[in-house]
Amino acid sequence: MKCLLFGLLLCCFTAVAQVNIIPQPVSVKLSGTNGKFTLRPDTQIIVEGSGLENSINFFNSYLKAYYGFALETASVPKGNNNLTLNFERMDDSIPGAYYLSVDKKGIYIAGDNETGVFYAIQSLIQLLPMAAGGKQLSIPYVEISDRPRFAYRGLMLDVGRHMMPVPFIKKFIDYLAMHKMNEFHWHLTEDQGWRIEIKKYPRLTEVGAWRDGTVIGKRPWKGNDNIRYGGFYTQDQVREIVAYASKRYITVIPEIEMPGHGSAAIAAYPWLSCFPNEKTNIPDSLLSEEGRKTNGKLVYEKWGVAEDVFCAGNDSVFEFLQNVIDEIIPLFPSQYIHVGGDECPKTNWKRCPQCQKRIRDLGLKDEHELQSYFIQRMEKYINSKGKTLIGWDEILEGGLAPNAVVMSWRGEKGGIEAAKQKHTVIMTPTTYVYLDYSQAKHEDSLVIGGYLPLEKVYQYEPIPPVLSADDGRYILGAQANIWTEYMTSPSKVEYMIFPRVDALSEVLWSPKSAKNWMDFKKRLPYQFERYNLWATHYFSDSSEYDTR
Ligand code: TNX
């Protein structure tokens, strides 16, 4: 009896160790027989539905990259050596539900839709052995049913502070896909750099994409490195990236910042400022040599919030921004257009005659209502093009634009308030999902500050308990933000975000009831093996995780 019990325990233990999927699926049933299917170069893909090329191509490029072979597709099954892709209606309200079974008859995948098949492929990839180069890939008999919890599962990447090369943007999109995430919020404009080609305004990238230097170290900074830095994405590159993402069922949401964080645009076109003739306000001790020589506007060379913002009293500024939006819309099929709206100091507006006239003419109470006017005016334009505006939670101040989606970053307060006002909300609170904060207790590299350990991200619950069930439905999902003041390279981005993105993916995908920190920690070392296989950088505090 004892022996049987031991055998049973052992069997369960080894069985559990075979399936380590992140994010945790809704249901995983192991056959208990310890049986395995072997995927080999002569395994056939049987396609029983149309539109599955994206999933097939993704799987085949993965096989090719790490095992050196790809599978042929066929219409007639060959013995029991097939990977079958099919559709079965699961009627899930959020795209992506799937069923995956592996048994002696082969691998069978059914998606509720194309997205579901694609996510089944992501789970299948996580069932493959970790050793590269194998041609006999044994996969445990298993039955998985799965579906996403939230519709919006995102990551934001700031390319304004530091530009990331196109191949890395594609890799980043692959990382999103492999974590079953579906929204890439691309922060394209900043004080420190304008990163997208706008044909009508060439100076945005000729001038606005380049800064003459960058402050050194942490606030209050130690001088300037005097290194000219910059770059931008052409519209062709943007189209290429958007197409790449869409083959991975990922929407790219562009962000064009206004009315704040606009120094780079102002350096290109000073008339966008309330005071075109005033020099950008940066102390000489922090300026580059070139910057010290100039008397005019500069692409910002330090971090933090710049006081020079777009003038809200000048109609030409709105015309300019609308023309920019006119070039953005055809590039991005996304329903959402992000206009920033955060951290807009009101110093200039307070002393600007045109802004003050606008306030008087419209009977506005103060500069906060002027900011609200700014965003509402842009919203009207964006809505007239059939698109929906997103803004950071500052857009609540002075009154929310009627159809705006709110991204709550200064904690959850703004999100709660917006949901109560029946506005769609995406949660991105600094407290849980700011991946620019340190994940090591004692900072192990230059970071902006803060401490956000993996467990804290894992414990995040996007629907605040204070919301009624009705209002809770306005929480579309959540997103982690990757601000790159102190991330100068792709490898640093990877190091900062992994494995916290794993924790976030489970917050967003897995049912609340399936979340289990201890279990997640047990699965994590397998994910690290995958990262090793992919040559991905990640943070690991070995004392924190269980070892096998
Ligand atoms: C706040 S979050 C910002 C960014 C900074 C970030 C640094 C938000 C909407 N604005 O401009 O990069 O803090 O953590």
- Give the pLDDT confidence of 330-342 residue by residue, as tens digits: 999 999 999 999 9
CB environment 60-80: b (16+ within 10 A), e (fewer): bebbeebbebbbeeeeeeeee
142, part of any domain? yes
Are residues 205 and 74 both part of a single domain? no
259, part of any domain? yes
522, part of any domain? no
Are residues 130 and 196 both part of a single domain? no
As a whole number of angstroms, the distance between CA 228 and CA 214 comes to 8
Is residue 374 within 6 Å of ligand 1 at its C-beta?
Answer: no
Per-residue pLDDT reduced to its tens digit, 87-113? 999 989 999 999 999 999 999 999 999
Are residues 372 and 233 both part of a single domain? yes
pLDDT of residue 5: 47
List the residue whose alpha carbon is closest to atom 12 of ligand 1: 483
Residue 144 is encoded by which pair of tokens? 């998985």
Are residues 111 and 221 both part of a single domain? no
The CATH number assigned to the domain holding 239 equals 3.20.20.80
Please, which pLDDT band fits residue 541 given cuts at 50, 70 and 90?
confident
pLDDT of residue 542: 59
Nearest ligand 1 atom to alpha carbon 407: 9
Are residues 116 and 202 both part of a single domain? no
Are residues 309 and 380 both part of a single domain? yes
pLDDT of residue 18: 80
Is residue 448 within 6 Å of ligand 1 at its C-beta?
Answer: yes
Q: Which of 188, 191, 407, 483 to mutate to test the pocket of ligand 1 (most atoms within 8 A of CB)?
A: 483
Calculate how far, in angstroms, residue 347's C-alpha sits from the geometric centre of ligand 1: 19
Whether the predicted pLDDT of 8 surpasses 50: no
Whether the predicted pLDDT of 406 surpasses 60: yes
As a whole number of angstroms, the distance between CA 255 and CA 258 comes to 9
Is residue 392 within 6 Å of ligand 1 at its C-beta?
Answer: yes
The CATH number assigned to the domain holding 132 equals 3.30.379.10
Is residue 343 within 6 Å of ligand 1 at its C-beta?
Answer: yes
In contact, 65 and 46? CB cutoff 8 Å: no
213, part of any domain? yes
Which whole-number Å values give the CA distances from 293 to 265, 270, 287, 298, 302, in the listed order?
20, 17, 10, 11, 17
Calculate how far, in angstroms, residue 254's C-alpha sits from the geometric centre of ligand 1: 16
- Boundaries of domain holding 264: 188-336+351-388
482, part of any domain? no
Nearest ligand 1 atom to alpha carbon 305: 11
List the residue whose alpha carbon is closest to atom 13 of ligand 1: 483
Please, which pLDDT band fits residue 7 given cuts at 50, 70 and 90?
very low
Are residues 121 and 234 both part of a single domain? no
371, part of any domain? yes
- Average model confidence (pLDDT) across the chain: 95
Calculate how far, in angstroms, residue 152's C-alpha sits from the geometric centre of ligand 1: 20
Supply φ then ψ for residue 400, to 5 degrees.
-80, 140
List the residue whose alpha carbon is closest to atom 9 of ligand 1: 342
Task: Evaluate the CA torsion angle 274, 189, 334, 461 in order and state its sign.
Answer: negative
Calculate how far, in angstroms, residue 108's C-alpha sits from the geometric centre of ligand 1: 45
Calculate how far, in angstroms, residue 483's C-alpha sits from the geometric centre of ligand 1: 7
Calculate how far, in angstroms, residue 167's C-alpha sits from the geometric centre of ligand 1: 25
Q: Which of 305, 342, 485 to mutate to test the pocket of ligand 1 (most atoms within 8 A of CB)?
A: 342
Please, which pLDDT band fits residue 78 given cuts at 50, 70 and 90?
confident
In contact, 179 and 501? CB cutoff 8 Å: yes
List the residue whose alpha carbon is closest to atom 8 of ligand 1: 342
Q: Is residue 522 exposed (0-12), middle (13-18) or buried (19+ Cβ within 10 Å)? A: middle
Three-state SS for 444?
A: coil
Are residues 210 and 356 both part of a single domain? yes
Is residue 66 within 6 Å of ligand 1 at its C-beta?
Answer: no
Are residues 220 and 132 both part of a single domain? no
Is residue 225 within 6 Å of ligand 1 at its C-beta?
Answer: no
CB environment 249-278: b (16+ within 10 A), e (fewer): bbbbbbbbbbbbbbbbbbbbbbebbbeeee
Closest CA to 181 of 150, 158, 159: 150
417, part of any domain? no
258, part of any domain? yes
Q: How many CA atoms lie within 13 A of 72 on its CB side?
A: 9
As a whole number of angstroms, the distance between CA 207 and CA 268 comes to 5
Is residue 461 within 6 Å of ligand 1 at its C-beta?
Answer: no
Are residues 113 and 243 both part of a single domain? no
pLDDT of residue 543: 54
Type of residue at 514: A
Are residues 127 and 242 both part of a single domain? no
Beta strands in 58-188, from DSSP E residues, in sequence order: 72-74, 82-87, 98-103, 106-111, 137-140, 142-146, 152-158, 183-187
Closest CA to 534 of 10, 120, 139, 125: 125
Whether the predicted pLDDT of 170 surpasses 90: yes
Calculate how far, in angstroms, residue 316's C-alpha sits from the geometric centre of ligand 1: 28
pLDDT of residue 544: 55
Query: The pTM is what?
Result: 0.96
Please, which pLDDT band fits residue 547 given cuts at 50, 70 and 90?
very low
Is residue 437 within 6 Å of ligand 1 at its C-beta?
Answer: no
Are residues 312 and 223 both part of a single domain? yes
pLDDT of residue 2: 45
Total of domains in the chain: 2
